[in-house]
Amino acid sequence: MRKVLVFTLLIASVLCLQAQQTLTFKHAIKMGLENNLLLNQQKNLLISTGVNRTSSLLQMTPSVSAGGSVGRFDGNSFNQQRGEVVNGQVDFINGGLSASIPIFNGFNQINQYRQAASQNEAQLNFVMRTKQDVIRNVAFQYLTCLLDQQLLKIDQQNLETQKTQLNQIKQQVELGSRAEADLYNQEFQVRNAELLVVRSSNRLKNDKALLAQTLMIDPIVSFELEDVSWGADDYLVDNLAVENLNTTALQSRADLKQASSTERAAQLSYYAWRGRYLPNVSGFAELNSRYNYIHGAPDNRSFEQQFRSDNRQFNYGVSVRVPIFSGFSNRAQVTQQRVLFENARLATKNAEVRVKSDVLIVYQNYEDAKASFASAQAQLKSGELSYKMEKERYDLGISNIVQLTTAQQSYVKAQSDFASAQFTLMFQKLLINYATGTLQEEDIP
């Protein structure tokens, strides 16, 4: 029983290790979103802008502070308790509580709060767009690795076919039914196929290393990629219209929302600085008290009597500050903020044009990818049929080795072109969602 349990645990650990070494498309996207450096940095900045927004809101509420001091006078000092100058050592304790509240400051703090809220909204949209950037980049690298795997399989199959054909030609040359030149030609084709396999293998390893770097995992650790099981219906979209894509993009693109929020924040900052031209009104209140102990005096009153009754003071009122002249410092700041606002407005217009351009480009690229996919399908069928017919003709002695090699190379190229067109179409489908700003982790099957 114990041996069976140990054997079961061993099998389970092996299966777990195999599961860890197989990287699925969805898991790759998840790892990219968790480990991406820029995305994590922007998330941290999002926390900072959220705290800044809360702080700007609380700046409009009363501010309260408490203070106190303990010390000793040695020499002449005026004593409020006696109402006379005392020469000697006097110990004292001061304590106070003060509060202030803004009443009117040219809507400066209100605009600062709105500015902070707009900055937080802009940062939130920046995080959302960065997530989409990560999904796009990881998807491109993952699909590139899958394409490399498919091309490697095609080259390996071609190598096996060439080796089988080499053995057949050897036998035919030994029997005298084929010229020896065919044997030399086929040996070259085998060596060339081996070279293609080595290059495809190296290309796959290099692209997997780049993917591992993007996902922040150790590139030394070997891992396999799970093939995607998408059908033609999953990445073929009919009745696409540029107008509809533009409408969706203008409503959903996070980078456009970010530019709009940044423009609004710059506008509110301009309004806030312009409010410094107006008078500033605030209310205040202070509660202070003091205790004195005169060394050598027989009639020192108690701490309770002095601090709670005799020396207690309560001040309150309203203060007004009217700006008259500040060396044009306010005017310079207002001018600078107005320029930043105008530049932000230009950036928003540029972002809107860029969104429309992105949609148009991705639409045209997708239509091109669909046409290329259909052409590659037809090319693959034609190449396969031509190779089979040429192989039969060569086996019957009707054709020569040059025609067979040409047909075989065309067939291998058709296989590679079809695989490339298939993965390009998959990626272009994701790019449509990216260009319209609707790309999400859930879109990855």
By residue range, what is the domain housing residue 170?
A: 25-61+108-278+343-443
* 415 within some domain: yes
Give pLDDT, residue 7.
Answer: 45
* Last residue in a domain, options 322, 351, 382: 322
CATH number assigned to the domain comprising residue 78: 2.20.200.10
The model's confidence at residue 194, banded by pLDDT at 50, 70 and 90, is very high
Q: Are residues 404 and 255 in the same domain?
A: yes
For residue 327, the model assigns a pLDDT of 77
CA distance 334 to 272: 9
Q: Do 306 and 81 contact (CB within 8 A), yes or no?
A: yes
> What's the one-letter identity of residue 163?
K
Residue 235: pLDDT band (50, 70, 90) is low
pLDDT value of residue 425: 87
Q: Are residues 274 and 292 in the same domain?
A: no
Q: Is the CB of residue 204 less than 8 Å from the CB of residue 153?
A: no
Confidence check: pLDDT of 48 > 90? yes
Give yes or no: residues 202 and 69 share one domain: no
Which of the four pLDDT bands, split at 50, 70 and 90, describes residue 14? Answer: very low
Judge whether 11 lies within some domain: no
- Whole-angstrom Cα distance, residue 412 to residue 417? 9
Specify whether the CB–CB gap between 136 and 29 falls below 8 A.
no
Q: What's the confidence (pLDDT) of residue 231? A: 61
Least confident of 13-27, 252-266, 407-421: 13-27
- Same domain membership, residue 366 and residue 262: yes
Residue 17 lies in a domain: no
State residue 4's pLDDT score: 46
Q: Are residues 144 and 204 in the same domain?
A: yes
Would residue 19 count as lying in a domain?
no
Tens of pLDDT, residues 147-167: 999 899 989 998 998 888 888
Q: How far apart are CA 51 and CA 59, in angstroms?
A: 12
Say if residue 358's pLDDT is above 50. Answer: yes
State how far the Cα of 268 lies from the Cα of 51, in Å rounded to an integer.
Answer: 18
Structure confidence by residue, pLDDT tens digits, 316-357: 989 888 888 877 888 898 899 999 999 999 999 999 999 999
User: What is the model's pLDDT at position 60?
Assistant: 86
Mean of all residue pLDDT scores within the chain: 85
Which of 256, 287, 322 is at the close of a domain?
322
Long-range contacts of 304-313 (CB under 8 A, 24+ apart): 306/81, 307/93, 307/95, 310/81, 311/80, 311/81, 312/287, 312/288, 313/286, 313/287, 313/288, 313/289
**Phi (first) and psi of residue 161, to 5 degrees:** -65, -40
pLDDT band, residue 81 (cuts 50/70/90): low
Question: How many Å is the maximal CA-CA distance in the chain?
Answer: 138
Whether residue 357 is found in the same domain as residue 387: yes
Task: Kindly state the average pLDDT of the residues 219-228.
Answer: 81
CATH code, domain with 415? 1.20.1600.10
Q: Are residues 46 and 188 in the same domain?
A: yes
Same domain, 292 and 434: no
**Distance (Å, rounded) from C-alpha 342 to C-alpha 180?**
80
- Name the pLDDT band for 10 (thresholds 50, 70, 90): very low
For residue 232, what pLDDT is reported?
57
Total domain count for the chain? Answer: 2
- On whether residue 357 sits in a domain, the answer given is yes
In a domain, 207, yes or no: yes
Burial-class residue 322 by CB neighbours within 10 Å (0-12, 13-18, 19+).
exposed
**Lowest-confidence region among 126-135, 238-247, 271-280, 364-373:** 238-247
Determine, yes or no, domain membership for 140.
yes
d(CA 401, CA 186): 8
**Domain assignment present for 165:** yes
Residue that is last in its domain, among 322, 357, 386: 322
Same domain, 200 and 143: yes
For residues 156 and 250, membership in a common domain is answered with yes
Confidence at residue 9, expressed as pLDDT on a 0 to 100 scale: 39
Residues 301 and 429 in one domain: no
> What span, in angstroms and rounded, lies between the C-alpha atoms of 372 and 420?
10
CB 390 within 8 A of CB 341: no
Q: Are residues 140 and 269 in the same domain?
A: yes
As a whole number, mean pLDDT of residues 414-426 equals: 87
